[in-house]
Each structure stands twice: as C-alpha cells, then as structure tokens.
Amino acid sequence: MAGVVTALVGFTSSFAVVLTGLAAVGATHAQAASGLLALCLTMGVAGLVLAWRYRMPITSAWSTPGAALLAASGSIEGGWPAAVGAFLIVAGLILLTALVPQLGSLIAAIPPSIAQAMLAGVLLPLCLAPITGLSKNPWAVIPVILTWLVFARLAPRWAVPLAFLAATVVIVIGIVTRSSPTGSGTVLDPAALLPHLEFTMPTFTVGALVGIALPLFIVTMASQNVPGVAVMRSFGYEVPWRPAMLATGIGSALGASVGGHAINLAAISAALAAAPDAEPDPKRRWIAGVSTGASYLVLGAFSAAFAALVVLAPVAVIPAVAGLALFGAFGSAVQQAIDDPGERTPAVVTFLVAASGMAFWGVSAAFWALLAGLLVRAVLHLGRR
C-alpha cells in the first residue's frame, strides 16, 4: 500500500506540470499524452526492476523540475522534433554519467547555490499561476486553492492531489454547464481517452542542445538524482549509482522519441516508500518499491484520460494546480540558493536571469542564468583561495 500511495501522490501531484512543459515546447495534445504515457511506462519498469534486483525500495520518477524548465523555456527553433532531439541527448548524458564517473563529478562541481537558483528562477513564473489565475477565473481557481490550503494544514502529503481532485470537480461542472441547452457544448472524441504512443522523428539543433538539453540534464541530476541518493542514504540504503543511471538513462532514451522528457531517481516521493511507515523491517521495504513501479504502469493506462481533463479544463485551473504542486520545490530551491552568504550574490543573479525568461539566439533563459551566475561567481572569487 505504501508503494501505491507513493505512485498516486507522485502522479497526481505533478502530471499537470509535465503536460504543461511538453505543450510549451511544441507538443500537440496527442503528443503530450503520449509523453505522459511513455514516462509512466519507463519509470514504472525502471523502478520495478531496480527494487526487485537490489532488494531496496528504489523508486523512479519523471523529472518534475525538468518539466518546469520546459514550461519556462517555451517554443524553440525546430519545434517539437527539436525538443525530442534534446530529450535523446539528455538520455545519452545520463548514460554517460553511469559509464564515465568524471561527468558526474563535473555536475557536482557546479555550486549547488547556482544550480538551485537557476531552478528557482525557472519555477517562479509557474508558481505565480495560482495568483494570476485568481484574476483570470476566480470562481474556478478559488476552490482549488482553498482545498490545497485546508489539506496543507490537515494532510500535507495529499494537499496537491486533493487540489487536483477539486480541479476535476470544477472541470466536470464546467462540462455539464457547457453541455446544457444554454451552453456552448463540449465534444470529446472517445478515442482521445485511449492511451497510445505517438512517435516523432527527432531533429538536433544547437538551440535545443544548449537551451534545453544541457539545463534539463543539470536540473535532473542536481534536483532529482543526487538528492534521491541522499534521501535513500538517510534511511540506510546505498543506491547502486551505475545501475540506477543505466536504468533511468535507458528508460529516458526509450521514452524520448514518443515524448518522454526524462526519468530519474525519485527524491521527495522516495521517502514514502523507504521510510519506516512503509514497513518496520528495512529488509522488506523493497516490496514498496516494486508496488510503486507496478502502480505507475497501471496509472499509464489512464494517462490519456488525465490529459483530456487538461484540454477540457476552464482557463487558469490547470496552471493553478501545477503552480501549487511546485511550491515545495520552489521554497527548497530558494533556501538552498541563498543559504550560504558567500554565494548569495551569484545565486541572486542566476535567479533573476532565469526568472526574466529572456532568450538570445534561440537559447532559453536557463542556460544564460547558469552562465551569468558562474561568471559573477568567478569574478567575485577571483584571487581567493
């Protein structure tokens, strides 16, 4: 049951972020639904295999910060095929991390304050969506925010899933209203509710490589894989690094051409399966890892239906849910970015550039933020030991 809860919380808390990110870089509704299905299948199999093989509650997840990065990046030169090409490059870099330890060391050499400041800047516009949504569609957004607030106090783990449930009720009421004799009518093709994979021939562009692939890889490693290992270690488990990177890298590669942006080790949700609440005996908690993977495979069967809800949603409702889902990640990123006073100025510069959304030569703000932060840090630390 702990594994089932882990999958339900992980899926319902952030699938809206994934769909928003894929659509932002050019995916059609069908392609975004395909990507969601691909992610469910690949992370389900990867987590199931790792947990079964190593008898640990290892769980995998899609890269939620990576999806937020895509949402902030927006359309790129080359459109959706170029984005798919960037996804394949990210998968290749994850595999290289498993095969070439120096690449992992290179990522670790990026100051955490700058990496987290870049992530915070990317998340800021998305986290503002619940607030801006109040002015766009208050009667639809207020129930979602109130539900989140009440359960953030009573049951924090379920606050975002229940906010999504409130959004679903709002969507259904909207459908019924529009379908009434006085409404505008809503037509939904039943075929859109069936899960399917849609292949896209990838193309490779410099803009997608620099603006999407590199920031997506850095965010996935720094905000998911490295913390994921740390979370597992806190519960007494030493995750086998190379097999974990091989499994998630292969999974990312298989899912990329059908729309999956990246899978990785779970970080926040990993605690749900690895903590003593899942099972007092640490040697038996691997069962929660297996059931998490199996549950993601089942959820994949409903991925198209969840994607259809996004299409039918009134304006501002789904962005509000996505923003609420990212509050925790945003707060954590800000805290880590400014925690060290000596690194605060480079982190602030990184955050502001990333939040600005500026793009030059088809390269997104995330790359320029990372570059600006490292440059400012180098100048400020010039001559210091």
CA dihedral sign of residues 34, 37, 41, 44: positive
Task: Give the span between the Cα atoms of 46 and 249, in whole angstroms.
Answer: 10
Task: Give the span between the Cα atoms of 183 and 204, in whole angstroms.
Answer: 45
Task: Give the span between the Cα atoms of 270 and 264, in whole angstroms.
Answer: 11
Task: Give the span between the Cα atoms of 292 and 279, in whole angstroms.
Answer: 14
For residue 236, the model assigns a pLDDT of 87
Q: 263 forms bridges with which residues in the sheet?
A: 62
3-state SS assignment for residue 345: helix
Task: Give the span between the Cα atoms of 374 and 191, in whole angstroms.
Answer: 49
Task: Give the span between the Cα atoms of 365 and 373, in whole angstroms.
Answer: 12
10-residue mean pLDDT series, the chain (385 residues): 85 88 92 95 95 94 90 85 96 91 73 86 88 91 95 89 91 73 52 84 91 90 84 87 93 96 87 83 92 94 88 86 85 88 91 83 75 91 73
Residue with tokens 């490589």: 209
Task: Give the span between the Cα atoms of 157 and 179, in whole angstroms.
Answer: 35
Among 22, 46, 32, which Cα is nearest to 303's? Answer: 32
Q: What DSSP assignment string belongs to 260-325? A: ---EEE-STTHHHHHSTTT-SSGGGTHHHHHHHHHHHHHHHTTHHHHHHHHHHSPTTHHHHHHHHH
Tokens of 153: 């106090």
3-state SS assignment for residue 58: coil
For residue 362, the model assigns a pLDDT of 62
| Secondary structure of 92-118 in HEC code, one letter for each residue | HHHHHHHHCHHHHHHHHHCCHHHHHHH
For residue 348, the model assigns a pLDDT of 94
The pTM score is 0.83
Among 63, 69, 72, 74, which Cα is nearest to 25's? Answer: 74
Task: Give the span between the Cα atoms of 287 and 279, in whole angstroms.
Answer: 9
- Under DSSP, the state recorded for 77 is T
What residue spans define the domains of the chain? 2-380
Tokens of 306: 């969840």
HSE at residue 178, side-chain half, CA atoms within 13 A, is 14
CA dihedral sign of residues 21, 307, 50, 88: negative
For residue 57, the model assigns a pLDDT of 93
For residue 192, the model assigns a pLDDT of 67
Among 328, 267, 287, 334, which Cα is nearest to 118's? Answer: 334
